[in-house]
Amino acid sequence: MAKTKTRDDAENYWVRREAKAREKSQSDDSEKSDVVKRIFEYMFHNVTEQINAWYSKYASKEGISMSEAKKRADKLDIKAYEEKAKKYVKEKDFSQQANDEMKIYNLTMKANRLELLKSEVALELAAGNDEYEKYVEDCLKDKTIDEMERQAGILGKTIKNNGDMIKSIVNASFYNATFSERIWANQDMLRSELEGYMTKAIIQGKSTNSLISDMRKRFDVSYYAADRLLRTEERRIQTDVAKRSYEENGFGQYKYVIMNTKACDECRKLDGNIYDTKDMTPGVNAPPMHPICHCSTVPYIDRKLFDEYLDDPDSGDMTFEEWQKQRNGLNKRLSLNKSKRINNKEDLMSITKSDIISMEDIDQIKKYFSTAHNITIDGFDNKDLFAVKATLAGVDDFINEFSKAKDGIKTIKYNSHSKVYGRMSENKIMTIGPQGLQSYGTGVHESAHALDFVMSTIGTNDFSERIVEQSRKQCGLRKNSKKLERILFDITNQFEDLDNLIEIYAYSMESEFGGNSNILTKSIFELTQGELSDV
């Protein structure tokens, strides 16, 4: 079947799509949590009924002694238990795992009263857990199908959808265990602890209410664990389907993205990292990195190159990856650098006017920034001098053009552990990571953010947002138009930043200072000049 090639394949806003999917998922999570809660509440209700009935029959006002509890159970009670177990197996259509569990609790006619109670409780746990397992399996199957359809909608294609594939995804091992194995392992822990509570209650002479209160607390823990397991497994399925989808559609790489401000430190370290799709592994370089992880992934490609693929009449039925291999004659990894690295002094001199390129050591550069701009340079002492010059020349050039920017920069420090090119904070600290070294554009980019902080109302970025919007209107570019999308991608080279006015502003300055001007970046630069001339 010939592939259908549409320009929308390359122009979807991946991250925005993922954010919307997460919003819907969180709404679904709430409904599913309610169902799991009901299952565990009903299980708890049935367990307490058995305990109350047992105490009512065998205990006196003072409770029941261990010797009484270990007396042989009434044969009629054992027979009643066996009939109940048979009825459960027949009516509830137990899974094989639940049936295997039940075989463990087959009683002999010599069973004592406590053994009978434990078996009664175990039967209710097995019945409730079987219902929970089936509900989780149904949810995971639905999630797999939904994700397949969602990925097909995003990528303009489809991945093979069949029963065997769905089954393999649902039952895949995650950290060396399937969802079903985890469910029954948790059930075994619950049963074991409840049995301990029952034995302890008899030994200590606790009342029924006291025993049930202890069990209530343990059931609450089990419910939260069960709810967490379902959510985490659904996140794992989203990643599994995404990987298959990326592979089917020829996306050789993907980007890790955090979806909200509450992301943990572990996930923040991965945010923005690019990985090969073939190495995509949940818990290693893809969600879920931990229980109830809300992060996601998006396909990562060169927009311009993909446009060439779409426009190439000879691409035929080839996937993008196949077309790229043929075009280049080798299997290149797709990669876009936010800021181009400066490889030699001649290249740097062609774009910078900064005096620091002629300075002989880091101490001279430190002194210059301190004297000229009242900025402290920290942490660059043992770094390659040319690499430091390339980055700091971007800062110096920007400040020399827009002097107000230095009011937003107190310190420029190097952080060897940073996973980003650079970061500008509102407390006037510019951080440069290893990727930002030898990058003139990073120096300009972060300085633009510093200027934005200075010129904006406190707590906002209304300066950059206003400048970008005014420039868009001045250039006659309609919102959401294809022309605007292309210009914005030319500026940012990032799918996720196409509607981020703050980043568009910084990237535009980076383009202007780096000699990659276009109609929009020029307007943004000139409007900034006009604003600052009045300050």
| Same domain for 397 and 315 | no
Q: What is the pLDDT of residue 249?
A: 72
Tens digit of each residue's pLDDT (9 = 90 or more) over 480-510? 887 888 888 888 876 666 789 999 999 999 9
| Same domain for 168 and 54 | yes
Would you say residue 419 lies in a domain? yes
Would you say residue 280 lies in a domain? no
Tens digit of each residue's pLDDT (9 = 90 or more) over 117-173? 888 898 899 899 999 999 999 999 888 888 887 776 555 444 455 677 777 777 777
Would you say residue 506 lies in a domain? yes
Would you say residue 525 lies in a domain? yes
| Same domain for 368 and 238 | no
Q: What is the pLDDT of residue 521?
A: 95
| Same domain for 219 and 104 | yes
Asked if pLDDT for residue 70 goes beyond 60, the answer is yes
**What is the per-residue DSSP string for 297-317?**
EEE---HHHHHHHHH-GGGTT
Would you say residue 486 lies in a domain? yes
| Same domain for 484 and 383 | yes
| Same domain for 354 and 317 | no
- C-alpha torsion sign, points 268, 269, 274, 275: negative
| Same domain for 320 and 216 | no
Would you say residue 485 lies in a domain? yes
pTM of the model: 0.52
d(CA 85, CA 450): 71
Q: What percent of the chain has pLDDT over 90?
A: 41
Q: Which residue has the higher pLDDT, 122 or 69?
A: 122
Confidence at 341, pLDDT banded by 50, 70, 90:
low
Looking only at the bridges linking them, the beta strands covering 296-299 and 253-257 are: antiparallel
Write out the residue range of the structural domain in which residue 446 sits: 345-534
Tens digit of each residue's pLDDT (9 = 90 or more) over 172-209? 777 678 888 899 899 999 999 999 999 998 888 888 88
Looking only at the bridges linking them, the beta strands covering 253-257 and 274-276 are: antiparallel
Q: What is the pLDDT of residue 321?
A: 59
Asked if pLDDT for residue 450 goes beyond 80, the answer is yes
Lowest pLDDT segment from 146-150, 278-282, 377-381, 521-525: 146-150
| Same domain for 64 and 139 | yes
| Same domain for 471 and 509 | yes
Would you say residue 112 lies in a domain? yes
Average pLDDT of the segment spanning 364-385: 96
| Same domain for 367 and 330 | no
Q: What is the pLDDT of residue 310?
A: 66
Asked if pLDDT for residue 406 goes beyond 50, the answer is yes
Would you say residue 185 lies in a domain? yes
Confidence at 261, pLDDT banded by 50, 70, 90:
confident
Q: Cβ(280)–Cβ(239) under 8 Å?
A: yes
d(CA 111, CA 109): 6
| Same domain for 80 and 220 | yes
Question: Is residue 217 packed enough to be buried (19+ CB in 10 Å), middle (13-18) or exposed (0-12)?
Answer: exposed
Residue pointed to by tokens 């660059």:
380
- Structurally, the chain folds into a number of domains equal to 3
Q: What is the pLDDT of residue 202?
A: 86
| Same domain for 128 and 240 | yes
Q: What is the pLDDT of residue 324?
A: 63
